[in-house]
Amino acid sequence: MKVFHMFKFWDWIIIPLIILLSFLPSVVFTYQQGSVSADSNLEAVVSVDNEEIERIPLTGHEGNEILDIPEVPCDTNTVQLQDEQIRIQSSDCPDQVCVLTGFISTPGETIVCLHHRVVIEIEAEDGHVENEILSY
């Protein structure tokens, strides 16, 4: 019972408010994922140094395909397309976070290799980025 006497009036208001606000990012992310229509074509956008290098269509892709990113000088990033998913299969960066990310296939998902400045992002084909609200 002494625990309840430690809290002031505003503590009972602020603490639940903070807890509710902590769920806001989950609500926004869920809303964004639900806004993608089932018939939208998806593309993987590969960027190096914030410059778009290639757009790879994912919708309808079948099989296994291996690509290299030659725009990264003196470094190796190997990209694998498998069915409608994409990942960085191998990289010679020291931390290997980009490789451990695995396959992505949903709009708004990204793979980032900070060491080589490579970003792979899934977008809807009409150019609408599904996570624009979070990018500012």
Please tell me whether residues 14 and 28 are part of one structural domain.
yes
Q: What is the domain range of residue 121? A: 38-134
Please tell me whether residues 86 and 119 are part of one structural domain.
yes
Whole-angstrom distance, CA of residue 43 vs CA of residue 122:
6
pLDDT tens for each residue of the chain, 136 residues long: 676 778 888 998 999 999 999 999 998 878 776 666 666 789 999 999 999 999 999 988 899 999 988 877 777 889 999 999 999 999 998 999 999 999 999 888 999 999 889 999 998 865 445 455 544 4
Per the CB < 8 A criterion, the answer to whether 77 and 97 are in contact is: no
> Global pTM?
0.69
Please tell me whether residues 43 and 110 are part of one structural domain.
yes
Start-end of H helices in 7-124: 9-21, 24-34, 97-100
Please tell me whether residues 60 and 93 are part of one structural domain.
yes
